[in-house]
Structure 1
Amino acid sequence: MSRPTAQKTAQKTPAQARPHEVRIIGGQWKRTKLPVADKPGLRPTPDRVRETLFNWLGQDLTGWRCLDMFAGTGALGLEAASRGALEVYLFETDAALVAQLLQFRTRLGATALQIVRGDGVALAGRLAAGSIDLVLLDPPFDTTQYAAAVAAALRVLTPAGQLYLEAPEHWAAEKLAGLGLVERRHLKAGAVHAHLLGRA
């Protein structure tokens, strides 16, 4: 989930928890509801999109190493950890959201979560090349960091690693090919285009 921006509006589906809650969809913490900060523009990835993503990935992520580069509420990373991921890096710039993520880790006993405050793209540069099985990218839709974030993701992904990308538009095959990527799955939900990508 992305950090706040004024141009990102909240998405809500009938299955979504109250606007200031995140509900974990599956895994060991299934149905757990966590309060989230009331910040303008904070947009947790909707329940439907998260459910679909982890259906695509398979429900068991045991042993996976994951990176959520723009963690926000942590909804995506929490889903990965709930499904058995070995390590989940949550990078976030907002101090209040980082504090909230630390509270979630304590409440859930989520020892897999590695929570770091700072710029996600820069922090990703500190991770070993080829060390991450799944990168979760949900930056602010008005960001100029998409290209840098994708480049950082490709550096840290294992050869068979997967990249999840949320964006305000569907990324064309030609654009992806130019980055060395291919689309495996795509979903449009409201203003969100969700892509599951792999190396070409």
Structure 2
Amino acid sequence: MPPQRSKTVESLLAGAERAFAERGFHGASIGYICQCAGRTTGAFYSNYDSKVKLFLDVFRRHSDRTAEGVEQALAAVDTSRDPAAALAAVFAGVADRVLDERWLSLTMEFRLMAIRDAEAAGALAEHEEQFNGRVGAALDAVYARIGRRPVLPGPLMAALLGAMIRGVRLDRGFHQASGGAVPLDRAALERALHGLLAPSP
């Protein structure tokens, strides 16, 4: 990719991340994305032929940052103590920090759209497989260090944890919006995850 195009794409990605977070996938027009990016619509169409493809690049970038953070946290787990407690703390932290309300809403909006859009569904499924493979490999490495096996292979465990965390955050979001008590606070989530992440005998 030529340096100038790389700079343009980076501006579009940054502007799109802001626009999507503010207005959602459907609410963020190409014009508003370009306004946030400080670029023209011509620059957009020179690099992308659809808003879906731009969103997928934004989604991958956000997910890559998440995967890198999880990999680093898992590599630092102290396996001389209770590894399940340390792993539970890592993933409870992901639920607290990574999926803020705006990004969660955007992710759920896109997942619902993907159910009805074959292009988005295929790209999302491919991305999820790669993401779960990365996190799963990092999980398997933790269990390998203690010479034990997880209840599920790492990639399947990563898929399950991702689905659980999204569901927990979704429920927390509408309870918070209603002013009600938040179910499955961090302490409860850590207890549940501890049981799931305990190594097999």
TM over 0.5: no
Compare relative contact order (CA 8 Å, sep 6+) and give the higher one, 1 or 2: 2
Q: Which has the higher helix share?
A: 2
Q: Which has the higher strand share?
A: 1
Q: TM-score, normalised by structure 2?
A: 0.27
Larger Rg: 2
